[in-house]
Amino acid sequence: MFIHVIRRGDTIQLLSREYNVPISKIIRDNALVDVNHLVVGQSLIIKPNNFIYTVRPGDNLYEIANHYKISVQDILDANPQITNQANLSIGDEIRIVYDNPDKVAMEINGFVYPTISVEVLRQTLPHLTYISIFSYIVRNDGTLVDIDDDRIIREAYRYNVVPLMTVTNISSETSGEFSTDLIHQILVNPALRNGLIENILKKMQDKDYLGVVIDFEYLNPEDRELYNQLLIDAKDRYDDFGFVLMTAVAPKIKADQKGLLYEAHDYEAHGKYTDRVIIMTYEWGYLFGPAMPVAPINEVEKVLSYAVTAIPADKILMGVPNYGYDFNIPFVEGTSAQLISNNEAIEIVIDKNVQIQFNTKAQSPYFTYVENNQKHEVHFEDARSITAKVNLAIQYGLKGFSYWTLNEYFPQNWLIIDYYIDVIKII
């Protein structure tokens, strides 16, 4: 697999010849909608098919390897019958292999909204271990607001994917904002706390879920131990039925990190009392903030370097964003960016006829454009940024990844996952 960054003068025909890959495959793998407008700085995944090469007069391994953009060692690894590199015989058959022989077994979770299309759902499920449906909202009496999730649960089982319910302290179905007071009322009341645990259990049983992700955010710092106790009690209760317990936590870089988002998330307790911990390593660039990458790799690594000291690495699922933001420049307090998909970012680039830049420190693509005298700066994910995240998770020995969200299908992401990762299926 190759990641090719478009240069001035590149065409789909030239790339097809350079990499010996059919035009149709390049288009399909990268979801290209306009092959006549490749953008300078745009990254494409080029994945040639494996094939058999027949040795011709004058051939040597170095020239064969160079021609097909692989190393001599790659050829030797795929062809153990070659015992003398300098003595190839005309007519010998050599396997040219572009697969990764060193895949790492990992788990993949993805959050989805109930509105996900059937087409996107079926394209995505083969790549997942878990699918987390967002979200069951907690009421102030410990009951849950129901959601329309039956269709997704049925499809998950068809693809041997574990369906997980997601429970949140969002204040209402329309606001989308997490409520500090709402979850405080539950945590300080033992009866409500235990009632919530039982309501989650009943919902898992009634809907054929196999586990739950508890995503309580913006908790009072003084509720930290009460939240830990809820996790202890939930783990004890759900273990009796074999249900998975996960939590989603803020991206901390130290145990005593200040701020309403961080203080009540006790990494050590979550690592001890849950089966998996999803670390939300995204939203450095966020909807109501100034322009910057959503998940800059240098900031993500700061989080992981602390996280693995508090949580067993084989319980951590690293958050990966499947989206970007279109920011207004300069930033004005109180204004909002526009949420976009990674595919939409490329559409904007083509429409505005601009080039994509790459922040090497953050390992993240971006571009700028002007519309109606307003400057914009767009940050999103591409093949290079996803590859950097995958390699970082492998480097830290994590259990896997958790995507927010998978309602939009981004084919480059899954080609990268398929190349580096052997996705674990547990049902």
Q: Which amino acid is located at 399 in the chain?
A: K
Distance CA 152, CA 263 (A): 34
Answer whether 318's CB lies under 8 Å from 398's CB: yes
pLDDT at 291 over 80: yes
**Tens-digit pLDDT profile for residues 12-27:** 999 999 999 999 999 9
Question: Do 268 and 391 lie in a common domain?
Answer: yes
Question: Do 82 and 136 lie in a common domain?
Answer: no
Which of 36, 66, 96 finishes a domain?
Answer: 96
| Domain of 13, in residue numbers | 2-96
pLDDT value at position 212?
99
pLDDT value at position 175?
74
**Tens-digit pLDDT profile for residues 308-355:** 999 999 999 999 999 999 999 999 999 999 999 999 999 999 999 999
pLDDT value at position 259?
97
DSSP state of 223: G
**Tens-digit pLDDT profile for residues 245-267:** 999 999 999 999 999 999 999 99
H or E element at residue 350: helix 342-352
Cβ-based burial of 387 (10 A; exposed 0-12, middle 13-18, buried ≥19): buried
Question: Do 278 and 219 lie in a common domain?
Answer: yes
H or E element at residue 402: strand 400-404
Question: Do 342 and 237 lie in a common domain?
Answer: yes
pLDDT value at position 110?
98
Question: Do 341 and 413 lie in a common domain?
Answer: yes
pLDDT value at position 300?
98
Query: Rounded to two decimals, what is the model's pTM?
Result: 0.96
DSSP state of 178: B
User: What is the layout of strands, in order, in the sheet containing 357-359?
Assistant: 338-340, 324-329, 374-379, 364-371, 357-359
User: H-type helices in 43-99, by residue range?
Assistant: 61-67, 72-78
CB neighbours of residue 229 within 10 Å = 16
- Band (172; pLDDT cuts 50, 70, 90): confident
Q: What is the mean pLDDT of residues 369-379?
A: 98
Question: Do 154 and 115 lie in a common domain?
Answer: yes
Distance CA 365, CA 379 (A): 6
Which of 75, 96, 117 finishes a domain?
Answer: 96
pLDDT value at position 17?
95
pLDDT value at position 176?
83
Longest CA span, the chain: 82
Question: Do 239 and 363 lie in a common domain?
Answer: yes
Report how many domains make up the chain. Answer: 2
**Tens-digit pLDDT profile for residues 185-223:** 999 999 999 999 999 999 999 999 999 999 999 999 999
Question: Do 176 and 192 lie in a common domain?
Answer: yes
pLDDT value at position 169?
98
Question: Do 117 and 92 lie in a common domain?
Answer: no
Distance CA 397, CA 274 (A): 18
pLDDT value at position 173?
67
DSSP state of 173: T
Q: What is the mean pLDDT of residues 395-404?
A: 98
Distance CA 347, CA 335 (A): 24
List the catalytic residues. Answer: 217
Question: Do 45 and 119 lie in a common domain?
Answer: no
**Mean pLDDT of all residues in the chain?**
97
**Tens-digit pLDDT profile for residues 100-134:** 999 999 999 999 999 999 999 999 999 999 999 99
Question: Do 124 and 59 lie in a common domain?
Answer: no
pLDDT at 174 over 90: no
Question: Do 207 and 245 lie in a common domain?
Answer: yes
**What burial letters (b/e) apply to 111-124, b meaning 16+ CB within 10 Å?**
bbeeebeeeebeeb
Which of 68, 96, 124 finishes a domain?
Answer: 96
CATH number at 190 reads 3.20.20.80
CATH number at 29 reads 3.10.350.10
CB neighbours of residue 92 within 10 Å = 15
Adjacent-strand bridge partners of 370: 375
